[in-house]
Structure 1
Amino acid sequence: MKLSYFHGAEDVPKDFRSDTAVVIDVLRATTTIAWAFTNGADSVQTFIDLKELQQESLKWPVEQRLLIGERGGKTLKGFDLGNSPLGVTPEIVKGKRIFMSTTNGTKALNRVRDFNNVYTLSLPNRSAVAERILLDKTDDICILGSGWEGSYSLEDSLAAGALASFLLESGSESIVANDELNAALALWHFWKDDLQGCLRVASHGQRLAGIGNHDDDFACCSELDNLVVVPYQSEPGVLCAY
């Protein structure tokens, strides 16, 4: 199994091909997605364009839809929720289609929507996604961070290293295919005993701290291997969960 890591959607070469893509946005989209499914959401449809999101959401009965939107870490006007895993409680999300657009995570998902298999990964569901990949027996894995508006993301690289470490230690014949992943592995080994510390020192972590009290988000997003849900793309742009 060949493992490659790219820091953001813009870093994936146009001609790059892989059997499977794993999209990461630790702070906070893929953590929110994992918790939404854990708490009973029916599906998550992701969008870059807000007008398209609004139009598509109107096709669903109001009692069966939920709009999650964020730009710059702040909730979008007219949306039900911002991008926090703490907001997607069972009372709010159970049985609903979530229409979601975020600053970075939904852009990364859009970049790989044509791949055969697409999963979303956060630290809480790291081992669940890794076990699914091992079951798939996939030859090539594209691990894709979401970054921040095209720039590098420390916390996404941390999670990429966490996934790669699990796969390399599983006994599978895994190969690190690029230096980006070697660096992510080194980052993981440096921070693995203080995951929340890494999230807080990251530039996006500092950005969130600067716009309000996100202590509970930091705690939730830095939990490791406590969720068993595996979000996957069931059709282009739409996620369901194993």
Structure 2
Amino acid sequence: MKVSYFHVAADVPKGSLPDAAVVIDVLRATTTIAFALQNGAESVQVFENLDELRETAGKWPESSRLMLGERGGKRVEGFDLGNSPLAVVPGQVAGKRLFMSTTNGTRSLHRVRDVQKLYTMSLPNRKAVVERLLNEWFAEIWIVGSGWEGAYSLEDSLAAGALISMLMKNSSRKVDVINDELSSAFALWEKWKDDVEGCLRESTHGKRLLSIGDHDEDLKCCATLDQLMVVPTQSSPGILSAA
């Protein structure tokens, strides 16, 4: 298994695609997706463009849909929810399709939507994703971070390091780290693995969220490890379902 990490969608090479891709947006899109599906959402459909989201959601029965919109860390006006894993509780999302667009994570998902096997990972569902990757055993995997508006993010690299660390420890077969970005992510994980929440709070995006509202509990939630067994999996382009 050959594994590479790309900090943001724009870093993903053009041309040939890997066998599988894992998209990460710790703060907070892929964490919210994991909790939503764990809590019974029918699926999560992601969009880069808000107008496209509104148009598509408008064709869905109002009683069985929710619109999630976030820009700059804040809920988009007129949307049902923003981008918090704490908001997608069973009473809100069970049985519903979530139409979702965020500042960063949905861009990365769109960039690799043509990969045959596409998953999302957050720290809370890391173990479940690792088990899936090892069971399927892909020849080549890309881990794709989301960053912040096209720039590097500390927390996504931490999660990439957490993923490769568990992959290597739990595999009976060879797992090759292909690029320096992933080697650096592994080193970052080794530094912060005993204080994951501290790393998220040290990150510029973590500080940004805390500065614009009461997101303290969001950061605590996003920093938890291996508590969810859901593996968000692209079932058709742009649509993620529980698996």
TM bucket (normalised to shorter chain) is over 0.9
Q: Which residue of 1 aligns with 2:48?
A: 48
Uncovered stretches (5+) of structure 1, i.e. residues with no partner: none
**TM-superposed deviation, 1:16:** 4.5
Query: Could you state the TM-score of these two structures normalised by the residue count of structure 1?
Result: 0.99
Name the CA distance, whole Å, in 2 between partners of 1:49 and 1:17: 24
- Letter paired with 1:78: G
What is the 5 A alignment of 1:135-214? 135-170=135-170, 171-214=172-215
Query: Could you state the TM-score of these two structures normalised by the residue count of structure 2?
Result: 0.99
**Identical amino acids, percent of aligned pairs:** 62
1:222 aligns with 2:213: no
**CA-to-partner distance for each residue in 1:116-139, whole Å, 9 max, x for gaps?**
000000000001001001111100
Q: Which residue of 1 aligns with 2:66?
A: 66
**Higher mean Cα deviation, 143-152 or 15-24?**
15-24
Q: When the two structures are aligned, how many residues end up with a matched partner? A: 242
- Letter paired with 1:123: L
Q: Which residue of 2 aligns with 1:26?
A: 26
Q: Secondary structure at 2:123's aligned position in 1? A: coil
Q: Which residue of 2 aligns with 1:13?
A: 13
Name the CA distance, whole Å, in 2 between partners of 1:84 and 1:16: 34
**CA-to-partner distance for each residue in 1:53-109, whole Å, 9 max, x for gaps?**
011001110000000000000000010001000000100000000000000000000
Name the CA distance, whole Å, in 2 between partners of 1:63 and 1:172: 48
Q: Which residue of 2 aligns with 1:96?
A: 96
**Segments of 4+ in structure 1 off by > 6 A?**
none
- Letter paired with 2:204: S
Q: Secondary structure at 1:125's aligned position in 2? A: helix
Q: Which residue of 2 aligns with 1:132?
A: 132
- Letter paired with 2:96: K
| Aligned alpha-carbon RMSD (Å) | 0.6
Relative to structure 1, is the Cα distance of residues 197 and 16 closer, same or farther in structure 2, using a 3 angstrom cutoff?
Answer: farther
